[in-house]
Amino acid sequence: MAAVKLAQEELARLIKVSMITSPVDLGVFTVRVLEDVLPKVAGELGLSFDYLEIHPGPQPRESADIELYYAGRIMTKISVKTAVTGELRNALKKLRQSLQPGEDGLIVLFAVAVKGEEGEAKMLLIYMPWEVFERYGDGEILVEVERKIKEKAEREGLENLKPLALNEAILFDTAYKVILASEAAQDSLKAAQEALNAVGKLERRMEERFSRVEERIARVKGRVGELEERITGIERRITDMEKKIGELGEKLDGIKGLLELVLKELKEHR
């Protein structure tokens, strides 16, 4: 029993599981995605490297899907298998068959992360060094991987991590993004409607203010009209007065002429 317990502890130490929490474009997923992903989760998977090279698709026998370099030398070779059907056992079997001596293994598994009423497609990376395949059978490895996945879900506060086939993951991820886009569109529509309501209120206030301004302008125009009429009346009066003053001046000139004649006759009679 002690030997079995020690074996289980060793297996638990060797197998690492990471979950990509950022959205992944499942529709174009290939080994190339791991070129960006692995440096971000290297510590969680127990990996250490300066840089990596990827070889998606068929490669020479001496190469692997992923090669990790440290100090200019290849330190780790990794063979990658995607659990296309969502079945870990099949992916593990294919991975074991593809491994070259000394190669580590990496299984990519898609799952629905369930939390409350929400679900989101996630990508799980299950890393297993060469000694896992060298020392343990598939049954033992599967038990430990499933335990690790459950443990990962609990640490992330998830209710469940349900494996998905790749095509299901693509559909699920697409549907999820459509829902998010729809919610964002509804929020944008609501914000736009609120903005339109605010603009409508502003327009009504401006119309009320313009109406009051127009009333004031009309009153001012009325007063200006009255003033113009008064000014016209005053101008007419001034014109009449100037006319009367002219007539009075003519009369004064006539009287002055008569006075001069009278004075002349008085002088002659003396």
Average pLDDT over every residue of 1-27: 62
Assigned domain for 63 exists: yes
Which residues in the chain belong to E strands, given as ranges? 16-20, 51-54, 66-70, 73-82, 104-115, 118-128, 160-164
Q: Is 235 within the bounds of a domain?
A: no
141-157 tens-digit pLDDT: 999 999 988 888 888 88
Q: Binning pLDDT at 50, 70 and 90, where does residue 31 land?
A: low
Does 87 reside within a domain? yes
Q: Is residue 241 situated within a structural domain? A: no
- pLDDT confidence of 133, banded at 50, 70, 90? very high
Question: Could you give the number of structural domains in the chain?
Answer: 1
CA 83/CA 195 separation, integer angstroms: 49
- Residue 196 falls within a domain, yes or no? no
Q: 146 is in which domain, residue-wise?
A: 2-164
Query: Does pTM surpass 0.85?
Result: no
Q: Say if 243 falls within a structural domain.
A: no
Could you write out the DSSP letters of every residue in 172-201?
Answer: HHHHHHHHHHHHHHHHHHHHHHHHHHHHHH
pLDDT band at 241 (very low <50, low <70, confident <90, very high): confident
- For residue 65, is it within any domain? yes
User: Is residue 129 included in any domain, yes or no?
Assistant: yes
**Per-residue pLDDT tens digits for 191-230:** 667 766 776 776 777 777 767 767 777 777 778 778 778 8
Which amino acid is it at 160?
N
Tally Cβ neighbours within 10 Å of residue 167.
13
- For the segment 17-40, the average pLDDT, to the nearest whole number, is 63
